[in-house]
Amino acid sequence: MCDSVDKCDSAYEDLELEVELEELPKKTFIRGSDPRVATCRGKLQNRRSKLNQEINKELRLRAGAENLFKATTNRKLKETVALELSFVNSNLQLLKEQLAELNSQVEIYQNDNTDSIMPMIPLGLKETKEIDFRDPFKDFILEHYSEDANQYEDSIVDFMDTRQAMRTPLRDNTGIALLFRYYNQLYFVERRFFPPDRSLGIYFEWFDSLTGVPSCQRTVAFEKACVLFNMGAVYTQIGARQDRTTAKGLDSAVDSFLRAAGTFRYIHENFTNAPSMDLGPEMLEMFIQLMLAQARECLLEKLELQSLENRTIDVCFDLAQEAAQLSECYDHVHQLIQQQMVKDYVPYSWSALVQVKREYHIGMAHYHAAMGILHAEVSQMSAQTKDTLQFLHVESASTQLDIRLPKDDLERRLLGRAHLRQALVLQEEGQRLHRMCRELKGKHALISMLRIAHRLALQAYTANDAEDDFRDLLDPPQIQPATKFQLSLTPPDFAQYRVSDLFKGLGPIAIFSAKRHWTAPRLVQLHRGRTTEGFGFSVRGDAPVIIAAVEANSLSEFGGVKEGDFIVTISDVDVKWASHEEVVNLIKNADDTLSLRLVTPMDRNYLKPAKSSNKGSVSTHSSSSGVSSGMSSPSGSMAQHTGNKRLSWNPFKKHQLHRESKEFYDNVILR
């Protein structure tokens, strides 16, 4: 499904064997929003869910009718099927238009104080169906791990409850935490229950948030990509609902939009081939640029808010260039929307709103430039301000005023009026684009902002009206886009929401995973007589402890103990997670009878020493037990190959597995 996911998995595998012997503290269970709570956003999502189901039904009907049309040779039947197909296509088009209209209702996600702010574009969530993991997981536990599946009933239910809650996350940080919790838990579940060579019969079905078209896959990577998309969508909704009339609200909005963009970038880089309409590379790039533009818009609004009471000439020029930069960003977003892989799936109202914002902000750029040029303190401009004014404009066609730095008041007023006239033209164009889109006509905040901008430009132009000049017919120079705000995407911080493995009882995931194989557990009973000093085997490593060597003609050899076996239980005590010292103590306390449950790995030779190991070899022992330096455990040897890879989330807390005094190649020779 996605090539780069394999790279992520290999990076994780390098750290899988840094086994955490102490369980992470369990976090309080986080639940999703109550579907019975009739909020506006909840109603909208319920309507979207119903439309998704109806679209899916119509798609199935169309697929069946098309197959029948191709298969039949009866002319009359063909005509009947063709007629039904036309009805189905009409219904499907109508449903998609209704879904597009729902996606256009951006005002539902805005803050209550929407009278004086430009509306933002949030994304709706992808819908998914409920999945019952009980039977597939239980069967796999019994078959692959040879354990009683009923012991993991609560763990399976916990995982299912988390997924169920994740379908309806709250539109705040609690909802984000819930999505992170489920996504991080998928790391363990994928390695526990999804072998690379076969399927468990579990399919993940998600509905496209823009078109309602379902996509069904059996890979966990697809599930992860969809969860991440919803995470980014929730960030967009959090950003849209901030109170942008305050500096604090604007900062929160910027942070949310940058987190949304960072999440979409993460999907773009790691799940590029996910065949979901939301997750196509062109669509994701459009989402990223849209979120960056909205973050930049919030920063411009903050600059306007902070300079409202004292707007100097320098601030006016800064606002002009920032607005021109923002207009350029929205123009880039509009170009991305016009791509073939994007245009047919994005609501027309989004495209129209992006065009309106492009014209609105370039109009505001000319307005702010005029306010700086016509400023009351223009005669006191510093040398630095004059340099800024000289490079404020873009040199281009001869139809423009050839004025960069006015020589006198006449040229200054002429240049300022030209900018104001251009601002009026652009604001009128924004209002025209607004009137052409039916879905935007009901956006009262948008109408209010467009009217205010037009009124400001008109008042300033009227106040600076003067004698006619033929140069009034020339266009003003274009504003040079520039910005002082450097935006950086905020990728998902998986480490902030670490979870514990719900199926930890199956053993260390580096060894006991779905992709590794071992024999069924076998019980070995060793009875030591009075004349026998030991059992005849040595062990090494931690979690799990491994049979390092078996002496020839010993009780262990006759009993069936093999070099490389993993010790699973000792006298009915589960030791898959036990340390070396704990296993040694259990063996010592066994007296003359030792009961072991062993499994033999079938994938690799865990006794093969690491090339970089220089700790010595197994050579010494004393009396019934002894300790000597040597090879590390499989956890330690594989952990040496992690290199300098930087991961977004390390599910295991790194422990020092090779302490000088205890954690080396320990051997217990029981003779």
Are 569 and 599 a contacting pair, CB within 8 Å?
no
Which domains can be identified in the chain, with CATH numbers?
Answer: 20-306 (1.25.40.280), 315-491 (no CATH), 519-639 (2.30.42.10)
Main-chain phi, psi angles of 342, to 5 degrees: -120, -40
Q: What percent of the chain has pLDDT over 90?
A: 43
Is 6 a residue whose pLDDT tops 60?
no
> How far is it, in rounded angstroms, from Cα 340 to Cα 444?
31
Q: Which pTM was predicted?
A: 0.78
Supply the DSSP symbol for 23.
P
**What pLDDT digit, counting tens, does each position of 297-315 carry?**
999 999 999 998 889 999 9
**How do residues 99-136 score in pLDDT, each as one tens digit?**
666 665 555 555 655 567 899 999 988 889 899 999 99
Q: Pick 626 or 335 by higher pLDDT.
A: 335
State what percent of residues in the chain have pLDDT above 70. 76
Least confident span in 78-92, 321-335, 532-546: 78-92
Per DSSP, the three-state class of 631 is coil
Tell me: cis bond preceding 544? Omega within 30 of 0 counts: yes
Mean per-residue pLDDT for 160-186? Answer: 93
Q: What are the pLDDT digits (tens) for 548-564? A: 998 888 888 888 899 99
Q: What pLDDT is attached to residue 254?
A: 97
CA 620 to chain centre: 53
For residue range 460-502, what is the model confidence (pLDDT) as tens digits?
Answer: 998 887 655 555 667 888 899 999 999 999 999 999 999 999 9
**Cβ neighbourhood burial of 371 (10 Å; 0-12, 13-18, 19+):** buried
Residue 345 backbone class (left: φ over 0; alpha: ψ -120 to 50; beta: rest): alpha
The span from the CA of 313 to the CA of 405, in Å, is 14
Q: Where are the beta strands (DSSP E) in 513-578?
A: 522-527, 537-540, 546-550, 566-570, 573-574
Q: Assess whether pLDDT exceeds 80 at residue 379.
A: no
Mean pLDDT for the stretch of residues 423-446: 89
Strand partners, 453: none
Which phi-psi region, left, alpha or beta, contains residue 280 (left: φ > 0; alpha: ψ -120 to 50)?
beta
CA torsion, ordered 239, 242, 248, 250, to nearest 10 deg: 60
User: For residues 236 and 626, what is the distance between their CA atoms, to the nearest angstrom?
Assistant: 62
The string of pLDDT tens digits covering residues 495-530 is 999 999 999 999 999 999 999 999 999 999 988 876
What's the CA gap between 127 and 118, in Å, rounded? 28
One-letter amino acid of 397: A
Please state the φ and ψ torsions of residue 541, each to the nearest 5 degrees.
Answer: 85, 180
pLDDT given at position 600: 92
DSSP one-letter string for 355-380? HHHHHHHHHHHHHHHHHHHT-TTGGG
Residues 6+ apart with CB under 8 A from 125: 45, 48, 169, 209, 230, 233, 234
Residue 234 has pLDDT above 90, yes or no: yes
pLDDT of residue 473: 65
The token pair that represents 466 in the structure block: 């003067």
Res. 9: pLDDT tops 50: no
Q: What is the average per-residue pLDDT within 349-363?
A: 95
Give the residue among 485, 245, 483 at the shortest CA–CA distance from 365: 483
Q: Which two tokens stand for residue 134?
A: 């009980």
Q: How far is CA 427 from CA 80, 334, 394, 450, in A?
A: 53, 18, 21, 7
Distance of CA 426 to the CA centre of its chain: 37
Average pLDDT score over residue span 587-603: 87
List the structure tokens of 516.
């590794």
Q: Which residues of 446-470 are buried (b: 16+ CB within 10 A; e: fewer)?
A: beebbeebbebbeebbeeeeeeeee
Distance CA 278, CA 222 (A): 12
pLDDT at 447 over 50: yes
Question: If 0-12 CB within 10 Å is exposed, 13-18 middle and 19+ buried, where does residue 156 land?
Answer: buried
Interatomic CA distance for residues 671 and 337, integer angstroms: 76
Q: Mean pLDDT throughout 81-108?
A: 70
C-beta neighbour count of 524 within 10 angstroms: 19
Q: Radius of gyration over alpha carbons of the chain, in Å?
A: 34
